[in-house]
Chains A and B, each alone.
Chain A
Amino acid sequence: MTTVTETTTLTLDRADVWRRATEEPQWVRRLLIGTTLVFLALFLILPLIVVLYGAFEQGLKVWYAAITEPDAAASIRLTLLVVAIVVPINIVFGVAVAWAIAKFEFRGKTILISLIDMPFAISPVVVGLIFVILFGSQGWLGDWLNAHDLRIIYAVPGIVIVIAFGTLPFIARELIPLMQQQGKQEEEASLTLGASGWKTFWYVTLPNIKWGLLYGVILCNARAMGEFGAVAVVSGRIRGETNTMPLHIEVLYNEYMFTAAFAVSSLLTGLALVTIAIKSFIEWHEKRA
């Protein structure tokens, strides 16, 4: 019995002296966690509280009045319209590009992959300017557009184009590694079993990528709603007509209508929170699967 007790004490002693190789001393851990929390509080939580406080400071009625005010309502409608056009475009583009890259071998594949990232690399203002130069009344295609009575810049089509451009990588980026990792064996199996290309896509490819696709759609959606710089350049900021939500918020803020600005901001913030919630759900679901 004595020996047993002795051994126990010994192991305990050792446990005290020997830490696992990757474990840091307690004070280092506390310092790291503490820094993280302070940063989170200052730069994430605090602004969130400020927005919500600002929006609801004068009560629900004022908040409701602010977001149903005609110009605000128009900006919300416009934003939703743009998202409803941009997200489907990017779904088609993202799936097509990811499919091409993951399932086929062709020249210039690496160049294509880097090209997809370009919208992330270019400043949004520059993106806006590119399209003004292309489609503006003084631009390359300006005369032709005028002759056919088409308006792109300072109108909804221009907004759709720059937002589609800016959010183009999200879905493709999400799907490429996923589809590369899955390879093409299941598709080949489906084809040998007599399924057409379309049925193979519908019954085999899509179910395999649906969570990744949804994830990409959510990121794309959030970014499309929040896009500011490029839209500011091409929209002409016509109140009630070409102002999206972020632009409208800026207008309100510049006119010292802080409560209204915060009210519209709270909608975008709400969207962000919902996005994070769905994103976490998808990640949880993928881990479980």
Chain B
Amino acid sequence: MSIRVENISKRFGNFVALDNISLDLPEGQLTALLGPSGSGKTTLLRIIAGLEAPDSGKIEFYGKDQTHQHVSERGVGFVFQHYALFKHMTVFENVAYGLTVKPRNERPSKAEIHKRVMSLLELVQLDWTAHRYPNQLSGGQRQRIALARALAVEPKVLLLDEPFGALDAKVRAELRRWLRKLHDEIHVTSVFVTHDQEEALEVSDRIVVMNHGSVEQEGTPDEVYEHPATPFVYGFLGSVNLFHGRFEQQQIVVGGDAIPHQDELLNHGSDVYAFARPNELTIVTDPTASHGIAAKVTQVLAYGLNPRVELESIADGSSVQHFQVSLPAHDIKALALETGQQVRLVPSRLKVFERTEASATGDEAK
């Protein structure tokens, strides 16, 4: 394991930022720390880098304890959300900085520094900006320069703090693909922090989902998305439809309706959360049908990139629940739905969690 995080805790006053976290991050992989703001992901990254000191716990790189090592001696490359390029230096000087501040006996020759910087600038496809100043570049270009600067010192690990957070959507998507490609070329162990689940799913080899200073789940994007361990993870990784219900006789009773469900692990009579993604629900318009859950159409969006139908539960005194069903546009049109029409929702797949005190937080995720 190249980065090992052992029992790290950190408080800011009364706020618990990290609560006894342990993680092993495999060598050569790109790991995403994913979580909402305040989940402690950035604090964890800064502790790994040495920019913040943990209250307790241990950080190891390749088996060597780094906990008391100063940030300048850890050999990390750090990329900041707002680039943090040196304003008064040219792009070339920025990238060369890590090499030029080395002690005289370790410093490469001028010619070698030049060669190394130029090859890094070529790697990030910005060699033509060498003599410009950071404020003459766009946000996306600045972030690529910041990455080249971090790579110049040949870091043992590369840490990126919301690297695309300050960029607009189009540039962000482009840079994501580019980072993935770059990582496939250089294979440096990397950790990046993001609150964007799509970004984490698209770019990383592994995802660590964090919430309230703890790790909710850790695994490959596929594992985390397909087999979420907690309601929070399920809710955080994409749009969801949530049914509050009770597990009774191999079915989930929601209000006056019921959905059949087989699950050996669930206790009979327990309160449950049942989740379905928008593409895992079908709409039944037959008014005589009795299976599935009754709902009322509120909006039909049979166009755009994400055609869908918005619905809400038939109010039975409790709060109104919103549902979303994704369908191909022509299927939506074929259903000929009207606003206010009553239909039934039938899940093709359900993820059910027993309702406990601990899982109650999942309620707030979307």
Residues of A whose CB lies within 8 Å of any CB of B are: 185-186, 188-197, 199, 203-204, 207-208
Contact between A185 and B80, CB atoms less than 8 A apart: yes
Add 19 more A-B contacts to A188-B51, A199-B101 (CB < 8 A): A185-B82, A186-B84, A186-B86, A189-B85, A189-B86, A190-B101, A191-B70, A192-B72, A192-B74, A192-B76, A193-B97, A193-B98, A194-B73, A194-B98, A194-B101, A195-B98, A207-B86, A207-B88, A208-B87
Contact between B88 and A208, CB atoms less than 8 A apart: yes
**Chain A-chain B contacts (Cβ-Cβ < 8 Å), number:** 67
Which residues of A have CB within 8 Å of B150?
A: 192-193
Which residues of B have CB within 8 Å of A195?
A: 72, 97-98, 101
As a 0/1 sequence over residues 8 to 35 of chain B, the CB contacts with chain A under 8 angstroms (1 = contact) are 0000000000000000000000000000
Q: 9 nearest interchain CB pairs?
A: A193-B98, A185-B84, A192-B78, A195-B101, A189-B84, A207-B88, A191-B71, A191-B72, A199-B101
State the CA gap A188–B101 with chains docked (Å): 14
With A185-B82, A185-B84, A208-B88 as contacts: A192 and B101 at CB distance below 8 Å: no
Contact between B49 and A192, CB atoms less than 8 A apart: yes
State the CA gap A35–B85 with chains docked (Å): 48
Nearest residue (CB) in A for B12 is A105
Residue B344 is within 8 A (CB to CB) of chain A in the complex: no
Residue B153 is within 8 A (CB to CB) of chain A in the complex: yes
As a 0/1 sequence over residues 159 to 201 of chain B, the CB contacts with chain A under 8 angstroms (1 = contact) are 0000000000000000000000000000000000000000000
Residues of B whose CB lies within 8 Å of any CB of A are: 49-51, 70-78, 80, 82, 84-88, 97-98, 101-102, 146, 149-150, 152-153
Contact between B78 and A188, CB atoms less than 8 A apart: yes
Which residues of B have CB within 8 Å of A191?
A: 51, 70-72
State the CA gap A34–B153 with chains docked (Å): 63
Chain A nearest Cβ from B163, distance in angstroms: 13
Chain A nearest Cβ from B209, distance in angstroms: 26
With A188-B78, A199-B101 as contacts: A193 and B149 at CB distance below 8 Å: yes
State the CA gap A203–B97 with chains docked (Å): 9
